[in-house]
């Protein structure tokens, strides 16, 4: 159960994005995998809108993007590129191993462009967007293997150390770093590459904690289904460029390392993890890919597990993936377009969610809220059950007789759906907006429109509007 503290004035804020404070019940759990389709090589960022955005290698063409408010419940929101905007350099290459950052007001996506066997033609490119969901504009290649002199130049990772920006990269031919320009889009004039780890690893990630820099990576075979031997490795150093060592003081340049995570009876080949995310309890979490042993043909799904710190080193429970675990704790959840409906002693708070519909929370006192508790994955209304394909905004709920009705915006038009419960599922008998003509909303629309609903609406879940 998730409890959410908010204020009565949320009732009056119908069009804003509100932070809602939540206290996580320790008994609430999640099940792995958290994304049950193949999204290899995940990277994650918490964007300015409060949501987490995850990007992965293009098993879904043009590089998939997922969104979540809690690291557990993810919804597909689109792709970073289209066939028209996808990077054209190295035209035979696929887009692999993205890394997302926020630099000077832009979402910056470093990515690899490669094909199997193309170890001297592959390289690292960069694209930018104003919003985490894109659209992303490609700026071309930053480096190419044959030009930088590093075979298999893939798996980029961007890192800021003070005022300096760096790119780390490499895959089983050594891990390297080089300084970038202030915008992260080019190699800085005069910068020289430095090797920081040996040939045992790829998928590099740097994390600073206390006095130490931690160099994470993945070793073994990534992509052989249940035969995959991928595992997460780590070493540490007090200097960004090393020398990184294991617990015995042996150098990662000599291919020594500590094992943080390996496969088990549930998962084969866990690795290529995203940036660590710290929840509101101060716990660190790792998203990574791996094959479900009972469904290896489905590809590399996304898993989530906690990282603990013991004696200056990261640890994961049993050094292996979990099946069921306590959820991350996030005391603040972003809910857009909030509206409150009261029925039979319970308050229902609805709002635009990062998913494919509208979340709903419940309360008895307008102070402590539980949810999301909607009938379908926490949502009261789900895209696919009703009119609209995109832009689901600003729900309003009311009751007539024993039926509940939700008016909402989708596809820049207004529509209405009905349910037998305020928790949903809200559906439509006819997937259409208001007849006899649709009310189309445009960005220039600044006046308030009032609609008079006829009894026809309650019979067919459609409405006649008088403007």
Q: Is 96 exposed, middle or buried (0-12, 13-18, 19+ CB in 10 A)?
A: buried
Which of 112, 109, 113 has the alpha carbon at shortest distance from 126?
109
Q: How far is CA 267 from CA 44, 301, 303, 314, 443, in A?
A: 21, 10, 9, 20, 48
pLDDT at 334: 66
CA distances from 429 to 16, 385, 387, 416 (A): 30, 9, 10, 10
Longest dimension (CA), the chain: 78
The residue ranges of every structural domain in the chain are 29-326, 336-436
- Measured between alpha carbons, how far is 49 from 69 in angstroms, rounded to an integer? 10
Four-way CATH pick for 29-326: 3.30.70.980, 1.20.1250.20, 2.60.120.920, 2.115.10.20: 2.115.10.20
**Rounded to 5 degrees, what angle do the CA atoms 196, 155, 117 make?**
110
Task: Give the closest residue to 140 by CA, choosing from 178, 190, 189, 185.
Answer: 185
Q: What is the distance between the terminal CA atoms of the chain, rounded to a whole angstrom? A: 43
Give me the pLDDT at residue 390, please: 81
Q: What share of the chain is helix, strand, coil (3-state, %, to 5)?
A: 5, 45, 50
Beta bridge partners of 381: 358, 426
Q: Would you tell me how many other CB atoms lie within 10 Å of the CB of residue 276?
A: 17
Kindly report the CA angle at 278 between 206 and 212, in degrees rounded to 5? Answer: 35
135 Cβ contact list (under 8 Å, min separation 6): 80, 81, 82, 85, 129
Minimal CA–CA distance to 73: which of 314, 379, 467? 379
d(CA 280, CA 22): 10
Three-class SS of residue 148?
A: helix
72 Cβ contact list (under 8 Å, min separation 6): 30, 34, 304, 327, 328
Q: Can you tell me the distance from the alpha carbon of 198 to that of 436, in angstroms, rounded to the nearest whole number?
A: 69
The pLDDT assigned to 17 comes to 44
Residue 307: which of 325, 291, 289 has the closest Cα?
325
Q: Return per-residue pLDDT of the chain as tens, 467 residues.
A: 444 444 333 443 433 444 444 444 434 899 999 999 999 999 999 998 788 999 999 989 999 999 998 999 898 999 999 999 999 999 999 999 999 999 999 999 999 999 988 899 999 999 999 999 999 999 999 999 999 999 999 999 999 999 999 999 999 999 999 999 999 999 999 999 999 999 999 999 999 999 999 999 999 999 999 999 999 999 999 999 999 999 999 999 999 999 999 999 999 999 999 999 999 999 999 999 999 999 999 999 999 999 999 999 999 999 999 999 999 998 765 677 889 999 999 999 998 876 678 989 888 988 777 777 888 877 899 888 898 888 888 899 999 999 999 999 888 888 999 999 999 999 987 766 665 344 444 443 333 333 444 444 444 343 333 32
Say whether 301 sits in a helix, a strand or coil: strand
Residue 162: CB partners within 8 Å, gap ≥ 6? none
- Tell me what pLDDT residue 351 has: 87
Active site residues: 41, 202
Closest CA to 359 of 368, 347, 348, 344: 348
CB count within 10 Å of CB 238 equals: 11
Q: Residue 13 has what pLDDT?
A: 43
Residue in the block written with tokens 């809200």: 426
Helix (H) or strand (E) holding 29: strand 29-31
pTM, entire model: 0.75
Closest CA to 339 of 421, 406, 413, 418: 406
């Amino acid at each position: 159960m998730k409890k959410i503290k908010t204020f009565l004035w949320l009732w009056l804020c119908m069009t804003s994005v509100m932070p809602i404070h939540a206290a996580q019940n320790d008994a609430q759990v999640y099940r792995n995998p958290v994304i049950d389709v193949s999204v290899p090589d995940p990277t994650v960022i918490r964007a300015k809108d409060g949501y987490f955005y995850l990007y992965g290698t293009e098993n879904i063409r043009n590089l998939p993007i997922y969104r979540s408010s809690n690291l557990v419940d993810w919804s597909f929101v689109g792709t970073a590129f289209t066939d028209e905007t996808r990077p054209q350099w190295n035209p035979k290459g696929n887009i692999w191993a993205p890394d997302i950052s926020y630099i000077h007001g832009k979402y910056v996506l470093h990515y690899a462009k490669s094909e199997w066997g193309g170890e001297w033609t592959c390289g690292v490119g960069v694209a930018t967007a104003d919003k985490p969901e894109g659209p992303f504009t490609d700026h071309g290649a930053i480096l190419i293997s044959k030009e930088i002199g590093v075979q298999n130049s893939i798996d980029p990772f961007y890192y800021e150390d003070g005022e300096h920006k760096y790119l780390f990269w490499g895959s089983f031919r050594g891990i390297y770093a080089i300084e970038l320009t202030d915008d992260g889009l080019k190699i800085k004039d005069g910068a020289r590459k430095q090797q920081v780890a040996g040939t045992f690893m790829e998928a590099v990630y740097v994390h600073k904690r206390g006095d130490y820099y931690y160099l994470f990576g993945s070793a073994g075979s990534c992509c052989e289904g249940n035969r995959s031997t991928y595992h997460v490795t780590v070493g540490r150093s007090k200097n960004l460029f090393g020398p990184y060592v294991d617990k015995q003081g042996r150098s990662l340049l000599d291919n020594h390392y500590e094992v943080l995570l390996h496969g088990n009876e549930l998962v084969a080949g866990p690795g290529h993890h995203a940036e660590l995310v710290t929840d509101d309890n101060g716990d660190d979490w790792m998203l990574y890919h791996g094959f479900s042993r009972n469904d290896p043909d489905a590809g590399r799904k996304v898993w989530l597990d906690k990282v603990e710190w013991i004696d200056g080193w990261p640890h994961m429970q049993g050094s292996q993936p979990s099946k069921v675990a306590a959820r991350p704790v996030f005391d603040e959840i972003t809910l857009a377009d909030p509206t409150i409906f009261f029925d039979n002693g319970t308050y229902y708070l609805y709002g635009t969610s990062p998913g494919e519909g509208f979340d709903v929370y419940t309360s008895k006192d307008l102070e402590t809220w539980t949810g999301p508790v909607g009938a379908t994955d926490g949502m009261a209304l789900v895209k696919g059950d009703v009119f609209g394909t995109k832009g689901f905004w600003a729900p309003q709920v009311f009751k007539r007789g024993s039926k509940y009705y939700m008016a909402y915006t989708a596809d820049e038009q207004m529509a209405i759906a009905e349910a037998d419960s305020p928790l949903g599922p809200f559906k439509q008998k006819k997937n259409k907006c208001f007849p006899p003509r649709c009310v189309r909303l445009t960005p220039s629309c600044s006046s308030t429109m009032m609609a008079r609903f006829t009894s026809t609406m309650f019979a067919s879940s459609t409405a006649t509007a008088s403007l």
